[in-house]
Structures are given as structure tokens and as C-alpha cells.
Amino acid sequence: MLVFFKPNLAFLSVPKTGSTAYALALRKRADIAFTKGVKHMTVGKYHAKFAPFLKDTYGLTPERFAVIRDPIDHARSWYKYRSPQRMDPKASTCHGGVSFDEYVLDAISPRPSKAAGIGSQASFLSLEVGDVPVDHLFAYERQDLLQDFIEARFGHRVEPQPKNVSPKVEAVLSPDVEAAFRAARPADFALYDRVVAAGGVLREFHSS
């Protein structure tokens, strides 16, 4: 997560949405930069702990921006990233070469394995269902809108270099498993659909 004082912005880094590439491209301009375990601070933690600190200490209430990805592509990116083609097959976070169907079913099970613990984008971005305190939420597929936004706020265009790129691994999802995924994660699909319906960026929230 990055905080920028002059443009009054906070970049919330959702895992597997290209956030690392943008963070690296913008880090030199950041006044506060979190890495490692705090790099992916959730909106809930930001709202409860860090936002009050920024306001009390610096008098700042930054506009928050983040990226959300199609939930199926998000899961597919995790699947490829944690494949034996990239990781040590003996690692606990490697899925060992299971099919994408098996991986998704593991991810939506009551107790996912470490490899399939991909989290929920809606949970990451929300305080509760429907309450998403992000001022500018971009669809991953609309990089043009995100880059236009950054250029307008920072005064220059950013061309992030690919980072943490997953290997090419076949990852076909069957209709039955897709239906099960949608049924298990309705909030993820609903939030992503809201962003797409808004033209690729959702700007319904206003900081108080």
C-alpha cells in the first residue's frame, strides 16, 4: 500500500491485480510505502486503523484507489502462480498440478488448502456487503482508465513493467464448477459487475 500526500491518494494493493507493478512504478513518489506483510493491507484494516492515523497525524483523508479483477481470472492467476511450473512442487503453497476445476473447488471449500487460499476481493475491498470505501475502483481490464487517472493526478504517465508474471499453464474452468464458484462467491462477482457496469471505474463512495 502506498500513500501520496500531495495528490492526496492512497493506493490499496489487492493481490493478483497487477498492483505490484504499479507500486514499483509509483513508489518513489510515495510518502508512505508498506511492503512485505503489510503490502496488501485490506480496506477494513485501513479504515479501522490507518485512516484515523493519517487524519490525526497529518490531517489527511486521502482518496482511495484500487483495482479489481474478474473473479475467474483472479483465481486463474493464483492457480498459475502457485503451479509446479513456477514453484517448488514440495512447497505447501504449490497446488501440485491439480486441474483448475479441482483448484477452484478447493478454494471455495470450507477449509481451503494453503495453495487455494486465494481470499475474496469483495472481502478485501469492503467493510460489509455493499459498503466499499474506495473512491476510485478500477476494473483490471481497463488499464487505460487507471493510467489516465494516474497521469491526471501525478502529472505524468506511468508505464508499469510486468511483475510476478505467472507461467503459461492451461486453466480451463468447466461450466458446472463456474456455477459453483459464482454461487459460493456472489459478492465478488456482484462487485466486479458493478465496476464493469459503471464503465470500468466505480466512483460511488465519498470519503467523509
* pLDDT tens profile 112-134: 999 999 999 999 999 876 688 89
Please state, in angstroms and as integers, the Cα–Cα distance from residue 116 to each residue in 30, 78, 152, 192, following that order: 32, 8, 38, 21
**pLDDT value at residue 129:** 64
Convert the pLDDT of each residue in 28-69 to its tens digit: 999 999 887 788 899 999 998 899 999 999 999 999 999 999
Residue 207, pLDDT > 70, answer: no
In 39-173, beta strands by DSSP E: 63-68, 136-139
**pLDDT value at residue 11:** 95
Q: What mean pLDDT, rounded, does the chain reach?
A: 91
Give every strand in the sheet of 9-11, ordered side by side.
32-33, 2-4, 9-11, 63-68, 136-139, 201-202
**pLDDT value at residue 84:** 94
With contact defined as beta carbons under 8 Å apart, do 25 and 158 qualify?
yes
**pLDDT value at residue 167:** 77
Please state, in angstroms and as integers, the Cα–Cα distance from residue 2 to each residue in 15, 27, 65, 95, 208, following that order: 14, 7, 10, 31, 20
Phi, psi of 102, rounded to the nearest 5 degrees: -65, -40
Any idea what the Cα angle at residue 41 is, between residues 197 and 205, rounded to 5°? 35
Any idea what the Cα angle at residue 163 is, between residues 1 and 64, rounded to 5°? 25
Question: What 3-state DSSP class applies to 131?
Answer: strand
